[in-house]
Amino acid sequence: MRDQSSFPAPLLGKFAVVTGSSSGIGRAIAWELAAAGADVAVHGGSNRAGAEETAQGIRERGRRSDVFLRDLTDPTIHESLVEETWEWCGGVDIWINNAGADVLTGDVARWSFAEKLELLWKVDAAACIHLSRAVGRRMKERTGGEPGAAAILNIGWDQAEFGMEGDAGEMFAAVKGAVMAFTRSLAKSLAPQVRVNCLAPGWIQTAWGAEASEYWQNRAVRDSLLARWGSPEDVARMARFLVSPEAGFITGQIIHVNGGYRGSAP
């Protein structure tokens, strides 16, 4: 086997923005991109300590980083977040819409279905749409016509396609299904200069998964052909691939990261 250390970093010279990267999947993606050579702007809602920890990890990997704390439920900040991150680096090559509302843990878990759905729509869907359109326009103009010179990556959910019972299944399927449909249309709008894809993770062991009941622990393992929970790093590695030149002929796709969905009864 050839020495991989002699190979250039695939994202060297690229600038990336990862929303919702103060913890979990977003942090794993930010660190993976930095390890591949990208400078990365860290976005968070209000978790400054977590965002600073992510940024420090990026710097430890030899790349530049800065923190941008913005509340994505406020539609008036979407354009300004794009403008601020764009100015910080002089242009964005990679934009990853990972930010998502946590409605399963903490005080929000006790909210009504309608309240949770509204929050999910604002953060997971509306912000993704507005941010993608805003940065996509800039990317398309900046590329000079070069096909696939920039990349946008959204985060969906595998069971938005398969369906899942219960309140959580209904609301997440509706919101993430919208993100996945939007991805396909945006890819056509921004082609050929900007590639747009979407990851659809399955059972990934983030904060909720670590504390889930025995039923959900068993179901996550049972639903996967690989018989285990996924990790944030599993998602991050696929994200790194999809925004890299290695995936230069891939756009408008929904890629499942779920260990092979077996399907199961409730």
pLDDT digits (tens, 9 = 90+) for 141-184: 997 778 999 999 999 999 999 899 999 999 999 999 999 999 99
Joined together, the tokens standing for residue 30 give 């930010």
Q: Which residues contact 24 (CB under 8 A, 6 or more apart)?
A: 206, 207, 232
Pick the CATH number of 11-257 from 3.90.199.10, 3.30.360.10, 3.30.70.890, 3.40.50.720: 3.40.50.720
Question: What's the sign of the alpha-carbon dihedral 250, 156, 257, 93?
Answer: positive
7-22 mean pLDDT: 92
- With 50 as the cut, is the pLDDT of residue 193 above it? yes
50-62 mean pLDDT: 98
- In this prediction, residue 5 has a pLDDT band, given cuts at 50, 70 and 90, of very low
> CA 129 to CA 124: how far, in whole Å?
9
206-223 mean pLDDT: 83
pLDDT at 96: 98
